[in-house]
């Protein structure tokens, strides 16, 4: 986080938000060598049509090789890896960095509405959306800025809970109906599709002590803001899970699965890049290793 139905739902507690962040300074790119995706290969099913929707946590900005123009879509994002492993008869990825829920039905610059890719014969839809609606980018920028004035305190926590009201929890609750409307819209356009809502990976651990001492991203937020921000990540994942369950969607919560792989952990371990020392990804976004692991999680879920 700091950080993009009808019938019976499957939900699993496993957590893409926004376009590349402007809070990064002095970003350095080095080669990332990730193990090839080794999903269980399946024979092509001539009756399957897979459509991927979502924001930048789906699109994969900065991960080689890039395509999709301003959408900054990678051919190594989790939808592409999932398609390589499952061999659908048709695969369409319209995920776009910076997307909000409104871009399911409305254009995003030169990008067509993402719902335009849905058809009556679509059999699988994955979607990762909501992070930009709740303002992940702004939350990051605020917490990073406040940390400079009080690096050992909890200025971000104080800011978002001023007056006794947790502003982030209020925002999450306000935006949940928009995510529900996306799931309902998918069902309406593709009534025979399995719909999978993919959540957001963990960005920071609950304590600074869990960071790799050599990783400078351990200092991007104040030391005592770690618990609050990790709690907000969990809270948003719970809201996504509940929204999926109420709208006949499967939820893949990659947040829980990515604990121990946050932005301040060691190279080769982390699934998310930080603000400094960024490796072949957008700042505070999944890297190639993260995308491979999300693809595994989604494949395991749809195989059930």
Q: For the residues 220-239, what does the mean pLDDT come to?
A: 98
Q: State pLDDT tens for residues 170-195.
A: 999 999 999 999 999 999 999 999 99
pLDDT reading at 213 higher than 90: yes
Rounded Cα gap, residues 190 and 144, in angstroms: 41
Q: Helix 167-189 vs helix 226-246: angle between axes, to the nearest 10 degrees?
A: 30
pLDDT reading at 34 higher than 70: no
Residue 296 confidence class, pLDDT cut points 50, 70, 90: very high
pLDDT reading at 222 higher than 70: yes
For the chain, how many residues are written? Answer: 304
The closest of 80, 119, 123, 94 to 4, measured between CA atoms, is 94
Q: Considering 154, 187, 261, 285, which one is annotated as catalytic?
A: 285
Contacts of 209 (CB under 8 A, 6+ apart): none
Any idea of the CA torsion for 152, 232, 204, 63, to the nearest 10 degrees? -140
pTM: 0.87
* pLDDT for the residue 46: 54
Contacts of 164 (CB under 8 A, 6+ apart): none
Is 56 an annotated catalytic residue?
yes
Rounded Cα gap, residues 187 and 51, in angstroms: 13
| Residue with the larger pLDDT of the pair 181 and 38 | 181
Rounded Cα gap, residues 24 and 38, in angstroms: 32
Domains of the chain, first to last: 40-128+138-247+264-302 (3.40.50.1110)
Rounded Cα gap, residues 286 and 292, in angstroms: 10
pLDDT reading at 60 higher than 90: yes
Is 74 an annotated catalytic residue?
no
CB 62 within 8 A of CB 72: yes
Token pair 């351990």: residue: 218
* pLDDT for the residue 77: 98
What number of other Cβ atoms are within 10 A of residue 53's Cβ? 28
Q: For the residues 54-64, what does the mean pLDDT come to?
A: 98
Rounded Cα gap, residues 48 and 50, in angstroms: 7
Task: Determine the 3-state secondary structure of 272 from DSSP.
Answer: strand
Q: How far is CA 14 from the centre of its chain?
A: 12
The closest of 15, 13, 14, 11 to 2, measured between CA atoms, is 15
CB 57 within 8 A of CB 286: yes
* pLDDT for the residue 39: 58
Q: What are 276's two structure tokens?
A: 């400094």
Residue 8 confidence class, pLDDT cut points 50, 70, 90: very low
Q: How far is CA 42 from the centre of its chain?
A: 26
Contacts of 148 (CB under 8 A, 6+ apart): none
Token pair 């702004």: residue: 138
CB 139 within 8 A of CB 188: no
Task: Determine the 3-state secondary structure of 259 from DSSP.
Answer: coil
Least trusted range by pLDDT, from 11-25, 82-96, 114-128, 187-201: 11-25
Rounded Cα gap, residues 59 and 288, in angstroms: 11
Residue 304 confidence class, pLDDT cut points 50, 70, 90: confident
Rounded Cα gap, residues 90 and 83, in angstroms: 9
Q: For the residues 11-39, what does the mean pLDDT come to?
A: 37
CB 298 within 8 A of CB 126: yes
Q: State pLDDT tens for residues 81-105.
A: 999 999 999 999 999 999 999 999 9
* pLDDT for the residue 41: 54
Q: Considering 56, 74, 80, 97, which one is annotated as catalytic?
A: 56
């Amino acid at each position: 986080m700091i950080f993009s139905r009808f019938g019976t739902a499957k939900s699993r507690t496993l957590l893409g938000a926004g376009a590349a962040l402007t809070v990064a300074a002095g970003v350095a790119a080095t080669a990332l060598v990730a193990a090839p995706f080794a999903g269980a290969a399946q024979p092509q099913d001539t009756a399957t049509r897979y459509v991927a929707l979502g924001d930048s946590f789906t699109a994969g900005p900065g991960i080689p090789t890039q395509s999709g123009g301003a959408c900054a879509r990678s051919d190594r994002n989790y939808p592409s890896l999932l398609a390589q492993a499952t061999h659908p008869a048709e695969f369409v990825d319209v995920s776009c960095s910076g997307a909000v829920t409104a871009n399911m039905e409305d254009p995003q610059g030169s990008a067509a509405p993402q719902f335009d890719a849905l058809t009556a014969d679509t059999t699988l839809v994955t979607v990762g959306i909501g992070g930009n609606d709740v303002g992940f980018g702004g939350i990051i920028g605020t917490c990073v800025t406040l940390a400079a004035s009080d690096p050992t305190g909890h200025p971000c926590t104080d800011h978002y809970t001023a007056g006794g009201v947790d502003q982030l929890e209020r925002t999450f609750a306000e935006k949940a109906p928009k995510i529900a409307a996306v799931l309902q819209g998918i069902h309406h356009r593709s009534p025979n599709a399995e719909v999978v809502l993919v959540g957001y990976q963990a960005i920071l651990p609950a304590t600074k002590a869990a960071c790799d001492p050599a990783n400078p991203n351990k200092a991007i937020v104040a030391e005592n803001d770690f618990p609050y921000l990790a709690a907000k990540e969990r809270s948003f994942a719970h809201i996504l899970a509940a929204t999926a369950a109420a709208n006949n969607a499967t939820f893949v919560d990659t947040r829980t699965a990515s604990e121990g792989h946050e932005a301040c952990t060691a190279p080769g371990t982390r699934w998310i890049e930080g603000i400094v020392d960024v490796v072949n990804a957008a700042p505070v976004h999944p890297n190639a290793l993260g995308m491979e692991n999300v693809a595994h999680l989604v494949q395991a879920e749809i195989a059930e």
